Structure 1
Amino acid sequence: MGDPGDLRRRRLRFRKNKDSGKRTSMSMMEHLGELRSRIIKSLVAFFAISIVVFFFYEPILEFLRKPLCGVDPDKLGPQGCDLVYNKLIGGFNFRLKMTALVGLALTSPVWLYQIWAFVAPALNTKEKRYSIPFMAASTILFLLGAGIAYLVLPTGINFLIDIGGSDLVPLLGAEEYLNFVGLMLLGFGVMFELPLVLFFLGLIGAVTIDQLKRGRRAAIVLITVLAAVITPSGDPYTMMLLAVPLYLFYEITIVLLRVVLKRRAKAAL
């Protein structure tokens, strides 16, 4: 892909005319006007979906509480897997926060598309060819990471409760639990994007296959450290469930990069 600093200059100079297929000049005001239009469309989608989420609050909350309810009831105290709040307005604030987070997640395809639609006129044909697979792979990897995080949540919760000892009984606040779950899902999702970033850097020549091969040991150490930081529970089982797939993706990235670069070299002959 081209120099990121050049994208804005090309975006300002040219715009694809949908009616004639010609490229026409685009002024700064038109550029800002389209940016505003993309932002408004994203916000409309966000608020529309958030309203729906608000009224489906209970089943969504039940889904988020399911990992907690899978923990041994004897460890949770008299309230079981019920979440508590200590302010009168706490329940309403929690509902709004959960609605916003879920709404933002569900509308991610919309605002990602709006970003793409805004940047696309500044991209050449070669850059556009990589953009769609890149976005699709990014979405799939993020969902895969978040899905794994959801599956290991009960293990992480068990570990955190056990490490406090049997003399302590947890009284879990609603917002505290939402923050914990959100951090796990987001952390795993973002971490699963790292192989895609490496692949992209390899395509543009920022890193080479030989560098990736020589960096295997460093990659293992870095992945382990990041897994320990991202995993709130800190238990070895959860860390391994994050670290092992990431290292496998690292090796897969090297293989895919070799295949793509060989094809590119043959096509250039």
Structure 2
Amino acid sequence: MSNHPQSIVSESAQLAENVEVGPYAIIEPGVSIAAGCRIQSHAKICRGVKMGKNNVVDHGAVIGGNPQDLSFDPQINSGVIIGDDNNFREHVTISRSTELNGNTIIGNRNFFMAVSHIAHDVIVGNDNILANNVMIAGHVRIGNKVFLGGGTAIHQFTHVGDFAMSQGNSTLTQDIPPYCVAHKINQLSGLNVIGLRRGGFSPGDRKEIKLAYSLVLKSKSTREDALKEADSKDFGPVAARLVEAVRSPSSRGILTR
């Protein structure tokens, strides 16, 4: 463990031997940080944070701060659970859960660019990129391999599907379906064709995704009839994920146009 003499590390914090803590960084009581992590200058890791291996927390970031919720009781115990190999750039903020013994959850290999914000009780999957100033409200669910353009704002309780993408400065108050691109205010642009190709999807899977998209998101039929037609196609698991997202959206509903 390498703590700068001007860092503040609680005696009750559990840091692996090779964790690096920079000047003026603060590690609060009860924090757990696994091997290979680097906490840069002026960063703060708040109580209740459990961090996996090889994460980088850049200058001025705050992980596990109190949620921005007027009804929140700061005396309750809650936290943030973080996986491995994440990169939190300058001034990223991630709030702890509002629920007693609850957690905001971050998976593995995510890249949070400068000043992006993750609110309380959010669940982020793996291999996602959030560009500068992205704002994620409470209880949002983000899947895997998602790219959110700079300044994107996502409403609380919304779901963002795997391989989804947003244009910079988008405002989204409903679910983004898997494999789709959203822009402006609650608008769908179409499929994330380049992302699917780069993601290694087979030509067969991409063809099925395209057909599923046309059936459940572009059909002029009712939602019920569109889903029945999609069910008749016996899609594989990849395209079926899109169909199920439309069938069972969050309480916010799902983008379809």
TM-score under structure 2 normalisation? 0.29
Bigger proportion of residues as helix: 1
Which protein, 1 or 2, shows the higher relative CO under an 8 Å CA cutoff with sep ≥ 6?
Answer: 1
> Which of the two has higher C-alpha Rg?
1
